[in-house]
Amino acid sequence: MTETVTPEAAVRSVALRAREASYELALATRAAKDAALHAMAEALLARATEVIAANAEDVARAESGGTPASLPANLVDRLRLTDDRLAGMAQGLRDVAALPDPVGEVVRGSTLANGLELRQVRVPFGVVGMIYEARPNVTADAAGLCLKSGNAALLRGSSSARSSNAAIAAVLRDAVASTGLPADAVQLVPGDGHDSVRALMRARGLVDVLIPRGGAGLIRSVVEESTVPVIETGVGNVHVYVDAAADLDKALAIVLNAKTSRTSVCNSAESLLVHAAVAGEFLPRVVKALQAESVTIHGDDTFGVYEGVLPATDEDWATEYLALDIAAAVVPDLDAAIAHIRRWSSGHTEAIVTEDLTAARRFTAAVDSAAVMVNASTRFTDGGEFGFGAEIGISTQKLHARGPMGLPELTSTKYVVTGDGHVR
């Protein structure tokens, strides 16, 4: 006899267990949570053979083209776990243990005129759902960040990493339980298909927040379908604007760094805008330097006179290449740069290069993105660079969290009001 459990019932069951666990986690001391994080790190190393064996199944499936269909070599590489990568995951968990506990922080407080004592205190969300793609290391990262912030984690990785994720979750659950916290602090969402993802997205009331991490398609589908509140992360159509008053040496260094230091990340530059007043001097230098780094330039008419520059279409202005490509245009003035950015940006990061304080003030005030850089590479939009110690993702939405998210962004608050029989 076959049991028939619908995806909704399966998700409901793990979510209710997560809720129960979340009650204990919310009350856990920092010491208890840090002990669990260290136990998780040690267990990953102690049971490395088991995890790597499970990972080998995923890699073999990915290479042989089973179910799902075979993956390209770079994705197989991202999927593969080694002793080094496991050591990195363990170190990540220890790093999270070393960070301050966001829970219990008093965000604001006062004594009201009537003597009531008001405190706004950070508290965990409760149950956090994460939906993510290929890399199995996210399973440990997300579990650690959620646990430290007092949240129970419901994790849904990609089906290509299902054996790795199951092994990692089993190791982490045992480790958490060994320290006296509930194993259900870490759970995988059961099921492989989109049905179970959909059930997770519709579990409003059972899951407090969903954080998708992955490509634009994944994030769009979660945002469209989810009734659970979502924190949107990571799509970056990022611009660098070189102002009339730019130091062109700084501008060249920033453009090259923003475009070429790492192309596959959301904070790398995808479009270059240059003020007409410096185009004559800057364009030959920047075109040459970018082409020397094998960057393909998709340019407007002014850029188009240089050899090798392809004509840009509206699609280029809109595209997050995540590759050695850049869209490039000359603009008549600062406001035209701002207008271009308003039209095409995804609101992640934009930079101005200028020595003119008035221009910098106008750009930083008028450009409505999660991060606005002045004379700095867009690559600095990063939780590590910002000093947050850990990053769950980079929010490109305006509600709740915007920009790199650290542990405090995985919490809510509540008001605690203390009186002595006060009535209105």
Q: Which of residues 319-378 bind a second copy (CB under 8 A)?
A: 342, 360, 364-366, 368-377
Contact 237, 348 (CB under 8 A): yes
Report the SS3 class of residue 95: helix
Site for a second copy in 380-409 (CB under 8 A): 380-381, 385-387, 397-400, 402-404
Task: Round to whole Å and give the CA distance between 90 and 103.
Answer: 23
Among 235, 379, 383, 391, binds a second copy (CB under 8 A): 379
172 is written with which tokens?
Answer: 């982490």
Least distance from a second copy to the Cβ atom of residue 7, Å: 19
What are φ and ψ of residue 43, in 5° steps? -65, -35
Site for a second copy in 151-210 (CB under 8 A): 204, 208-209
Least distance from a second copy to the Cβ atom of residue 8, Å: 16
Least distance from a second copy to the Cβ atom of residue 373, Å: 5
- What does DSSP assign to residue 354? -
90 vs 266, which CB is nearer to a second copy?
Answer: 266
333 vs 385, which CB is nearer to a second copy?
Answer: 385
What are φ and ψ of residue 110, in 5° steps? -165, 165
Site for a second copy in 113-152 (CB under 8 A): 113, 116, 118, 120, 123, 125-126
Please tell me the count of residues contacting a second copy according to CB under 8 A. Answer: 71
Site for a second copy in 26-85 (CB under 8 A): 26-27
Question: Among candidates 151, 142, 200, 208, which has minimal Cα distance to 169?
Answer: 142
Report the SS3 class of residue 132: strand
Stretch that binds a second copy, among 65-73, 226-234, 298-306, 311-319 (CB under 8 A): 226-234
Least distance from a second copy to the Cβ atom of residue 137, Å: 22
74 vs 110, which CB is nearer to a second copy?
Answer: 110
Among 280, 284, 332, 419, binds a second copy (CB under 8 A): 419
Stretch that binds a second copy, among 94-102, 190-198, 271-279, 416-424 (CB under 8 A): 416-424
Least distance from a second copy to the Cβ atom of residue 366, Å: 7
54 vs 235, which CB is nearer to a second copy?
Answer: 235
Task: Round to whole Å and give the CA distance between 180 and 15.
Answer: 20
How distant, in Å, are the alpha carbons of 8, 48, 92, 108, 373 from that of 85?
A: 34, 10, 10, 41, 33
301 vs 368, which CB is nearer to a second copy?
Answer: 368
Among 183, 223, 277, 322, binds a second copy (CB under 8 A): 223
Least distance from a second copy to the Cβ atom of residue 145, Å: 17
Q: How many CB atoms lie within 10 A of CB 115?
A: 10
187 vs 257, which CB is nearer to a second copy?
Answer: 257
Among 179, 263, 296, 412, binds a second copy (CB under 8 A): 412
Task: Round to whole Å and give the CA distance between 272 and 289.
Answer: 13
Q: What is the dihedral of CA 124, 87, 74, 405, to 10 degrees?
A: 20
Least distance from a second copy to the Cβ atom of residue 90, Å: 25
Task: Round to whole Å and give the CA distance between 37 and 386.
Answer: 23
170 vs 254, which CB is nearer to a second copy?
Answer: 254
Stretch that binds a second copy, among 65-73, 78-86, 109-117, 273-281 (CB under 8 A): 109-117
Least distance from a second copy to the Cβ atom of residue 45, Å: 30
- What does DSSP assign to residue 189? P
Half-sphere exposure of 106 toward its Cβ, with a 13 Å CA cutoff?
Answer: 8
209 vs 238, which CB is nearer to a second copy?
Answer: 209
Contact 76, 63 (CB under 8 A): yes
Site for a second copy in 280-309 (CB under 8 A): none
Least distance from a second copy to the Cβ atom of residue 350, Å: 10
Task: Round to whole Å and give the CA distance between 213 and 317.
Answer: 24
Half-sphere exposure of 185 toward its Cβ, with a 13 Å CA cutoff?
Answer: 36
Among 51, 136, 227, 307, binds a second copy (CB under 8 A): 227
Task: Round to whole Å and give the CA distance between 90 and 93.
Answer: 5
DSSP H helices, 65-136, are 73-79, 83-98
**Long-range Cβ contacts of 103-106 (<8 Å, 24+ apart):** 103/26, 103/30, 103/149, 103/150, 103/411, 105/408
69 is written with which tokens?
Answer: 């269909």
Site for a second copy in 247-286 (CB under 8 A): 247, 249-250, 253-254, 256-258, 261
